Amino acid sequence: MTRPGRRDVSASTVPCPSPAAMSRLTQQYETDGFYGIGVLNSERETNVGTLWRSAFILGAAFIFTIGRKVEKQSSDVTRAWTKIPLFHYASFDEFRENLPFATKLVGVEMTPAAEPLVSFEHPTRAVYLLGCESTGLPEPVIAACHSLVVLPGHFSLNVAVAGSLVACDRVNKLKVRLPERIFPDEV
């Protein structure tokens, strides 16, 4: 018996899913991937602050530093430190041991083996690693990367600019959703 205004949904009209179907995850998410971006042996703290800001604006899940620990910076005017985490690793080995599961490590480096960014297909789950401007990524780190990309030009870009360009390329190619700005009068 049903109450007025309610539809009768008896066991005979609702198909019962099989146990196999019930055991599969059927949730759907806006995106299946994420990315993080960071710097090995950063020379200037302001570069990390600027990269943090760009990473937040361009939808990164996190940023990181390897070798040199950095705190929040005045160059981060969006207060990105309140929105995405900064992880620090003392060494590349420690960083590699803590890469998220099934994530591809993409080195950003000026080397003949690197694929031009313009033709690069970004992995759904990626961590982008930049070296410091003066020395780049060491050979053992390059060898550990799943992919290498190179930006246009024959000179090294500022590390925050290079990271921002890679993140922007990812956003444009994968069409990911970016954080939205909420103005005080909208809350």
| Amino acid at the residue 129 | L
Domain count, the chain: 1
Residue 4 counted as domain residue: no
108 contacts 165 by C-beta, under 8 angstroms: no
What 8-state DSSP symbol labels residue 157?
P
Residue 122 counted as domain residue: yes
- pLDDT computed for residue 73 by the predictor: 59
Axis crossing angle, helix 45-57 with helix 159-174, rounded to the nearest 10: 10
**DSSP secondary structure letters along 53-85:** HHHHHTT-SEEEEESS-----TT-TT-GGGTS-
Q: What would the mean pLDDT of 156-182 be, rounded to a whole number? A: 85
Assign 133 a pLDDT band (cuts: 50, 70, 90).
confident
**128 is written with which tokens?**
């982008």
Q: What would the mean pLDDT of 8-21 be, rounded to a whole number? A: 53
Radius of gyration for the alpha carbons in the chain, expressed in angstroms and rounded:
22
Q: pTM here? A: 0.78
Task: Give tens-digit pLDDT for 69-123.
Answer: 666 556 556 677 777 888 999 999 999 999 999 999 999 999 999 999 999 999 9
Residue 165 counted as domain residue: yes
Assign 50 a pLDDT band (cuts: 50, 70, 90).
confident
Residue 186 counted as domain residue: no
Mean pLDDT of the chain: 81
- pLDDT computed for residue 12 by the predictor: 47
112 C-beta neighbours (distance < 10 Å), count: 6
Q: What angle do CA 104, 110, 111 make, to 5 degrees?
A: 80
Residue 102 counted as domain residue: yes
Residue 147 counted as domain residue: yes
- CATH no. for residue 136? 3.40.1280.10
